[in-house]
Amino acid sequence: MSSTRNGPDVGFSFRSIQHERRDRQYSGAAKRRDHHHEQRRATGETAFYHLVGSNEVMDLTGEAVWLNGDEEARAGHFDYDSTRHILSGTNHVRVRWPNVAQDDSKGARLMFADQATMQMPPTNGPVESMIANGNVIIVNQADESRSTSDHAVYSRAENRFELTGSPRWWNDRLKVQGDLLTAEVTNSIYHARGNARFEMTMGRATNQLVVISATNIDYQTNLAIFQGNVHTTLFQDAALRDTLDCDRLDIDLVSNEAVTAVARGNVRGETAPDRAGAVKTITCATLTAHRSPVTLLMRDLEATNDVVIREFGETTKHAEEQINGGIGHRDVFFPHQSN
């Protein structure tokens, strides 16, 4: 230990603590207390060493800061268990770590929470895992996305996040929520489990919005799969345009644009009333739609197996009365535009 005229500047070493000293506290108003451990550095207004069983623990309070290479954590209070290499923070925890180690050009992730626990490696290296609780916010500077939840778990080995407790994730074009959200970052694969909801702005002009609810959602760069009680609504200029219900919906994506959609199982589609008040419906086993990735206009629509098409108008006396009689077909093909 060493001291200066302005007060002690303490270099702590867990190895130097004698076990017969059950605890020792270093404190002082507005004076920082530093702990150095190779690439790690911790500071706080007050540092307190003690033993919990056979584990050596250091408590840092008062604008506590923990630096671990290019990772940084801040909180009102930290305690570090040097035996188990666990850092726990409470009171406005903030954690920052790079998307790519030693490369800030790829942006960083920021996590905010009421409480967080971080598993450190036994030697030098990045955090192995994190668990955060309470008002969790995660921001990714690389794609300008963010998420909110009550609980978050992160594994560096799998580069995987799990969010629970009313989790939501969004960026400038997508919004996803569910009972459980999972992100496999390395392969850009995302899952929503239970009461899942997906919103996507369609087209370079942002006047179209598709909203899809389902039991489960699986999303990756070029494919989105919706399963279980799938309900799709399409809005244009904030007005309802079409709805679609089915058991499963697969959407192929090119540059984040939907180009092919295949609905399977108990398919039922319905248009919003046109200017004459007519509503069109279709039921079938499978419905496939193709859209041009260049013009973003519909190319064609194909319905197969047990196809029934109906059209209803406001002037009909009964809801079941049809302007055009129901048509039963095995297959129906509707060409729109070729590009």
- pLDDT value for 212: 97
What DSSP assignment string belongs to 269-280? EEEPP-TT--EE
Number of Cβ atoms within 10 Å of the Cβ of 20 = 5
Answer whether 148's CB lies under 8 Å from 170's CB.
no
- pLDDT value for 12: 37
3-state secondary structure of 19: coil
Residue 135 lies inside a defined structural domain of this protein: no
Task: Find residue 138's DSSP bridge partners.
Answer: 111, 147
- Count the domains in the chain: 1
Checking DSSP bridges between strand 23-26 and strand 33-37, what pairing results, if any?
A: unpaired
Burial class, 181, CB count within 10 angstroms (exposed 0-12 / middle 13-18 / buried 19+): buried
Answer whether 251's CB lies under 8 Å from 224's CB.
yes
Residue 3 lies inside a defined structural domain of this protein: no
Residue 187: CATH number of its domain: 2.60.450.10
b (16+ CB within 10 A) / e for 199-226: bbbbeeeeebbbebbbbbbbbeeeebbb
Residue 339 lies inside a defined structural domain of this protein: yes
Of the candidates 185, 122, 199, 123, the residue with the CA atom closest to the CA atom of residue 154: 185
Residue 67 lies inside a defined structural domain of this protein: no
Q: Which amino acid is at 135?
A: N
Residue carrying the six token digits 């899809």: 212
Helices (H) and strands (E) in the chain, counts: 0, 24
Residue 333 lies inside a defined structural domain of this protein: yes
Range of the domain at 179: 167-339
- pLDDT value for 205: 57
Residue 49 lies inside a defined structural domain of this protein: no
The percent of the chain in helix, strand and coil, each rounded to the nearest 5, is 0, 70, 30
Residue 237 lies inside a defined structural domain of this protein: yes
Task: Find residue 111's DSSP bridge partners.
Answer: 95, 138
Residue carrying the six token digits 């087209």: 203
Residue 95 lies inside a defined structural domain of this protein: no
Residue 11 has which token pair?
A: 């270099």
pLDDT by residue for the chain (339 residues), tens only, comes to 333 333 333 333 333 333 333 344 444 333 444 444 456 788 888 988 888 778 888 899 998 999 998 899 999 999 999 889 999 999 999 999 998 765 666 789 999 999 999 999 888 789 999 999 999 999 999 888 999 999 999 999 999 999 999 999 999 888 999 999 999 988 889 999 999 999 988 765 568 889 999 999 999 989 999 999 999 999 988 888 899 999 999 999 887 788 999 999 999 999 988 888 889 999 999 999 998 877 767 788 899 998 999 988 755 444 444 434 344 444 554 454 444
Between CA 285 and CA 301 the distance in angstroms is: 14
